[in-house]
């Protein structure tokens, strides 16, 4: 993802959560004035938080009537974050923007190459993961989750309906971890719960030789507000829970894939 402005990691994650395919976002009027493009009717805006510098007024200083030469303090400025909506290129129509079209083409190229090598396998992994989830008596429901990709409640995993099969592996593992590690029942600290769930995803994906960049970003985002002295402890604690679960998932996935491969080979031989 690249954007017209410099987005904070928080905003990048916000955009990604709301519109996975976003490539370039701008505000409503910026599209019009800078690119001569128009947001299409009915397109939902993507919510981000824009920093707004605020200058504190010095009213009191101005009303000082003591006659003394007062020391003028510099205006204190602070930053407020105000919610604003932006729209992705794909949600607008109008003049072609060459630089964005090129980015889209490059990304599609990368996707095509990725699909050729791992796309099919990822689908396999997702299917095997769904098998494990069902084995544990956990239900899976697809519905519109708004800004979230996945959710766990009780013994049900919710996956956003926009997430394509084969692209849901990380979400399935993450929500599965929330349930298996009892986050939905025990009142687990939110940061602990997210670290444990996403560490599980990272361990499984790296065990399968898959890209774990999204996991790194997620873990970074959840741990950056933790006091530095406590961070290591929190991660060690999270590893304790996520490692055995990740091993269980990995074993299941590898066994399921191996069984599938064998079945396939037998079919080919039989044919
Ligand atoms: Zn979570």
CA 80 to centroid of ligand 1, rounded, Å:
27
Cα 162 to ligand 1 centre (Å): 18
Q: Classify residue 118 as exposed, middle or buried by CB count within 10 Å of its CB (0-12, 13-18, 19+).
A: middle
49 & 151 share domain? no
Residue 138 has pLDDT above 50, yes or no: yes
Separation between Cα atoms, residue 51 and residue 10, nearest integer Å: 12
Percentage of residues in the chain having pLDDT higher than 70: 80
Whole-number Å distance between alpha carbons of 184 and 152: 7
Q: What is the whole-number distance in angstroms between the Cα of residue 88 and the centre of ligand 1?
A: 25
Tell me: pLDDT of 159 over 60: yes
**Distance from residue 182's CA to the centre of ligand 1 (Å):** 12
User: In the prediction, which pLDDT does 121 show?
Assistant: 63
Q: Which of 37-41, 101-105, 162-166 is least confident? A: 162-166
Same structural domain for residues 126 and 255? yes
SS3 letters for 160-222?
Answer: ECCCCCCCCHHHHHHHHHHHHCCCCCCCCCHHHHHHHHHHHHHHHHHHCCCCCHHHHHHHHHH
Query: Measured in angstroms, how far is the CA atom of residue 33 from the centroid of ligand 1?
Result: 39
Which residue range is the domain that position 15 belongs to? 9-57+74-94
Distance of CA 235 to the CA centre of its chain: 20
Distance 34 CA to ligand 1 centre (A): 38
Please check whether residue 102 lies inside any domain of the structure: no
Is pLDDT larger for residue 49 or for residue 65? Answer: 49
Q: 177: CA distance to ligand 1 center in Å?
A: 9
115 shares its domain with 88: no
pLDDT at residue 270, rounded to an integer = 63
Q: Are residues 121 and 78 in the same domain?
A: no
Q: Which residues are near ligand 1, the ion (C-beta closer than 5 Å)?
A: 197
- 84 and 127 share a domain? no
Ligand 1 centroid to Cα of residue 171, in Å, is 9
How far, in Å, from the CA of 255 to the mean position of ligand 1?
27
Which range, of 83-87, 240-244, 265-269, averages the lowest pLDDT? Answer: 265-269
Arithmetic mean of pLDDT over the chain: 82
Count of all residues that appear for the chain in the document? 271
**pTM above the 0.85 mark?**
no
* Choice between 24 and 187, residue whose per-residue pLDDT is larger: 24
Q: How far does residue 174's CA lie from ligand 1's centre (Å)?
A: 6
Tell me if 262 is assigned to some domain.
Answer: yes
Give the pLDDT of residue 256: 87
pLDDT in tens, 17-42: 788 778 899 999 999 999 999 999 99
3 falls within a domain: no
In a domain, 241, yes or no: yes
Q: Among 66-75, 128-137, 193-202, 203-212, where is mean pLDDT lowest? A: 66-75
Residue 10 pLDDT grade (very low, low, confident, very high; cuts 50, 70, 90): confident
Residue 66 maps to a domain: no
> How many Å lie between the centroid of ligand 1 and the Cα of residue 191?
9
Total domains in the chain come to 2
Ligand 1 center from residue 224 Cα (angstroms): 16
């Amino acid at each position: 993802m690249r954007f017209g402005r410099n987005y904070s990691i928080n905003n990048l994650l916000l955009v990604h959560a709301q519109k996975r395919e976003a490539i370039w976002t701008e505000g409503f009027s910026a599209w019009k004035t800078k690119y001569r493009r128009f947001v299409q009717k009915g397109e939902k805006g993507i919510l981000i938080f824009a920093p707004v510098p605020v200058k504190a007024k010095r009213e009191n200083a101005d009303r000082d009537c003591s006659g003394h030469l007062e020391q003028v303090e510099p205006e204190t400025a602070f930053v407020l974050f105000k919610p604003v909506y932006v729209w992705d290129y794909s949600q607008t129509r109008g003049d072609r923007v060459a630089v964005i079209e090129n980015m889209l083409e490059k990304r599609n190229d990368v996707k095509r190459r990725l699909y050729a090598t791992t796309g099919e396998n990822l689908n396999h992994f997702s299917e095997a993961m769904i098998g494990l989830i069902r084995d544990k008596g956990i239900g899976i429901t697809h519905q519109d989750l708004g800004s979230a990709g996945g959710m766990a409640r009780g013994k049900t995993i919710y996956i956003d309906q926009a997430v394509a099969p084969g692209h849901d592996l990380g979400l399935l593992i993450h929500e599965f971890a929330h349930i298996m590690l009892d986050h939905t029942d025990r009142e687990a600290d939110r940061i602990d719960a997210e670290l444990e769930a996403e560490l599980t995803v990272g361990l499984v994906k790296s065990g399968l030789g898959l890209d774990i960049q999204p996991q790194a970003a997620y873990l970074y985002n959840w741990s950056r507000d933790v006091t530095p002295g406590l961070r290591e402890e929190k991660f060690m604690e999270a590893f304790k829970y996520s490692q055995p679960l990740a091993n269980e998932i990995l074993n299941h996935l590898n066994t399921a894939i191996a069984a599938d491969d064998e079945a396939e080979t037998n079919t080919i031989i039989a044919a």
